[in-house]
Chains A and B, each alone.
Chain A
Amino acid sequence: MTKPVHPTTVWPWIVMALAGLHTFVASMTVSPDAVQGQLSRIMYVHVPSAWLAYLAFGVTMFASAMYLWRKDLKWDRVALASAEIGVVFTGLAIALGMIWAKPTWGVWWTWDSRLTLTAIMFFVYLGYLALRRTTDALDVRAKRAAILGVVAAVQIPLVHFSVVWWRGLHQAPSLIKPDGPEMDTAIVLTLLFAVANFTAMYVAMMFKRIELARLDDAVLVAEQTGSGPVAGEAVTAPDLSGGA
């Protein structure tokens, strides 16, 4: 037997749209940076994307650890949802960083420590998603993914502190510093507003992605237990009455 299909919730879509709209309006109306000019506006989508990558992979680690402890598949679904969203935002952070780098540094890409480690993190979590496709056994899949989900999280501090530990082209942290941010108050507030909006977007995406993971698991269980339609049920019996 499969679980009954409940009507889907609409509010996460509304939150996503509003968060995107608010970020766009704030980013386009704040004054440009004195040195970088209009290009500084790219920061309002690049930085929140990078923040969401940290947050999403951190949640994946927590949910993976909870699965290993509790053996409850709901934690596995949370880990999966957060990892997939994290991969999207890591890819976005890399792409937006490249679009900013070309006019600013003169190159799309350079093997700077922050860029290289972020790219490695992106591919490791792509590997996490690929690992989940290696088996249809829910418990085996969840255990394998949970172990990788915990181990892979070591990259989060590595990526974040790479600009402090190694000298490179990517700028050091300018927002979270012991002696306060180095930016103008309007720019700091707009950046924090964008980060808050992207975080709301992440929460809304998590609701929908977990709903999808629950449905996918239900489909898998139905297929494995044979509660789905079989050929005999799907085929209509021929009419042998001769139309009489």
Chain B
Amino acid sequence: MLYAQHVMTYAEQWNWVALAYGVAYFALVAYGGSIALRINRARRKLGDMS
């Protein structure tokens, strides 16, 4: 546990935090977007069929 604070600089710690939040929010937005796209595609298919 002591590794991070004593070996890494303040900026290096923030780089890891930025990477983690970048990955997390990119994944959440991408997944939400995929649901929206798939809903639109299914609705269009149903609209074509009716």
- Taking Cβ atoms with an 8 Å cutoff, the residues of A that contact B are 2-5, 8, 13, 16, 20, 24, 27, 35-39, 41-42, 45-46, 49, 85, 88, 91-92, 95-96, 99-100, 102-106, 201, 205, 208-209, 211-212, 215-216, 218-219, 222, 227-229
CB distance B43 to A215 under 8 Å?
yes
Count of residues in B whose CB is under 8 Å from the partner chain: 34
What chain B residues lie within 8 Å of A216 (beta carbons)?
Answer: 38, 42
Question: B residues near A, CB below 8 A?
Answer: 1-5, 8, 10, 12-14, 16-17, 19-21, 23-25, 27-28, 31-32, 35-36, 38-39, 42-43, 45-50
Query: Contact at B35–A208, with CB atoms within 8 Å?
Result: yes
Contacts A104-B1, A215-B42, A229-B48 given; does A37 touch B13 at CB 8 Å: yes
Q: Which residues of B contact A85 (CB under 8 A)?
A: 31
Given A96-B20, A212-B39, the answer on whether A36 and B5 have CB atoms closer than 8 Å is yes
Q: Which residues of B contact A211 (CB under 8 A)?
A: 39
List B contacts of A36 (CB < 8 A): 1, 4-5
In whole angstroms, what is the CA distance A99 to B16 when docked? 7
Chain A residues with CB under 8 Å of B31's CB are: 85, 88, 205
* Minimum CB distance partner of A35 in chain B: B1
Complex-state Cα separation, A37 to B38, whole angstroms: 41
The answer for the CA separation of A49 and B27 in the assembled complex, in Å, is: 12
CB < 8 Å: which of B3, B4, B14, B49 contacts A227?
B49
Give the residues in chain A near B46, CB-CB below 8 Å: 2-3, 5, 215, 218-219, 222
- Complex contact A103–B32 (CB within 8 A): no
Residues on B with C-beta less than 8 A from A8 are 39, 43
Of the candidates A16, A27, A219, which one forms a contact with B42 in the assembled complex, judged by CB atoms under 8 Å apart?
A219
* A204 nearest CB neighbor, chain B only: B32
| Bound-complex Cα distance A210 to B30 (A) | 18
